[in-house]
Amino acid sequence: MKETQEPDLGLRRFLKGLGLLTGGAALLSTAPWLSSCTPGEPASTKGRKARIALIGCGSRGQYHLVMMRSIAHAEVVALCDDYKVNLDAAHAMVPSARTYTDYRKLLEDKEIDGVIIATPLGLHARMTLDAMAAGKHVFCEKAMALTLDECKSVYEAYRSSDRVLYYCMQRMFDEKYIKGIQMIREGSLGEVVGMRCHWFRNADWRREVPSPELERRINWRLYKEYSAGLMTELACHQIEVCNWAIDKMPSQICGMGDIVYWKDGREVYDSVNVTYRYSDGRKICYESLISNKYNGMEDQILCKDGTVDLTKGVFYLENDNLNSGMKQLLQQIKTRTFASIPAAGPSWRPELQSRFTPHPVISGKVSVNAGQSMVAADNDGSDIILSAFCDACLSGRRAENVVEEAYCATTLCLLGNMAMEEGRTIEFPEQYKIPYMKF
């Protein structure tokens, strides 16, 4: 790790770009969790580094180790994995780190301030609870937990604890999403009338297995013992964004899920279609398929006067430089679009215009995630949220609403699976509602 006492420049650039270092407090109503980010080094932590341990040294864990290299106010001091191949690979990246094969032994280490949990979903709740009980701050990969009861247990433990808890919902720290949601919340494009999200890939989601007994451990995403499939692995990010946009929770969930193409012994769906209905009739239409990648990934918020595609960081206006009906007709005649001119029929409607003009949500170059990587995407907010967590390990300041947003998104994804498996419309269960939720 680089030895320096300079504040993390990536985090500072991010906060400066949003205007939070120069009085941009209005953004905090859109993304209140940003208020916990320390713009520099407070006197109480000056010169200190957060001592971080990684639990789970697979591909995502190793990605976090790469990100940690640029976080000057933190250092990786310990690594844990019970699969030697992954532990050895991570240790080669951070030779100075202590190594463990039992995460409970790691949690006994008094020289650790915070832990990053990058293990299969089925282990998230248990490890998070154990880490907080051991006095560690926690950064856990999404989703929060494998079951609704586990989600509630983690949430209640967090509420009764003084520990920092982050979930890697990186869109919450992605500038184009923050600015796009601010535009939506301010009503710049009119009332939100619906939301459409999809995530398409064309891959079997499998990893190479060196020995048959390792199949379920390595390909854990395919088995219900460890995974909740496409909903928690992909949809969790997107459902959170929709709730963020309108500051409400849907009350009804229905859908259909199937194994359409990858009939290879997996237990989780490879095709899902889920509809979430809010009490006012607005809906999220969600679809994911992993045997065709043509449509890629999009998070669309549909408003009366325009559409925001948050994935690309652009918005489209419903009435944007539209020509009059006659001008459109004359232009198409001029370009020989029509072989003949209709003499009668419906008037030429501007809504038949075939192209909408994209307008950028933020200025400058925007990184767009095509959604094809199983590990990470460049500049998607993952580095910023990790840096904010390391900062919080020093300051002790909790990020407002991060745990609550993760809880809401995870429970909705788990209920989506339940609706598909049971073939019925589900009302959000009373026992899993928390005060943060607005229906």
Give the pLDDT means over successive 10-residue stretches in the chain (439 positions): 45 70 69 77 67 97 95 96 97 98 98 98 98 98 98 98 97 94 94 98 95 96 97 97 97 98 98 98 98 96 97 93 47 44 39 71 81 71 92 94 98 98 98 98
CA distance 275 to 258: 15
**What is the reported pLDDT for 320?**
80
Give tens-digit pLDDT for 275-325.
999 999 999 999 999 999 999 999 999 999 999 999 999 999 999 864 444
CA distance 278 to 275: 10
Give the up-direction half-sphere exposure of residue 186: CA atoms within 13 A in the CB hemisphere.
Answer: 12
Who contacts 343 (Cβ-Cβ below 8 Å, separation ≥6)? none
> Is residue 40 within 8 Å of residue 29, measured between CB atoms?
no
Q: Residue 180 in 3-state DSSP?
A: helix
CA distance 51 to 343: 77
The CA distances from residue 336 to 178, 230, 323, 329, 355, in Å, are 44, 47, 18, 11, 18
- CA 150 to chain centroid: 20
Lookup result for tokens 């499998």: 206
The CA distances from residue 317 to 22, 298, 357, in Å, are 30, 17, 8
CA distance 13 to 9: 6
pTM for the full model?
0.88
Per CATH, the number for 9-172+380-400 is: 3.40.50.720
What superfamily does domain 175-320+356-378+407-432 belong to in CATH? Dihydrodipicolinate Reductase; domain 2 (3.30.360.10)
**Ranges in the chain annotated CATH 3.40.50.720:** 9-172+380-400
- Count the Cβ atoms, other than its own, within 10 Å of residue 404: 17
**What is the reported pLDDT for 48?**
86
**What is the reported pLDDT for 324?**
44
**What is the reported pLDDT for 47?**
73
**Ranges in the chain annotated CATH 3.30.360.10:** 175-320+356-378+407-432
**What is the reported pLDDT for 13?**
72
First to last CA, the chain: 46
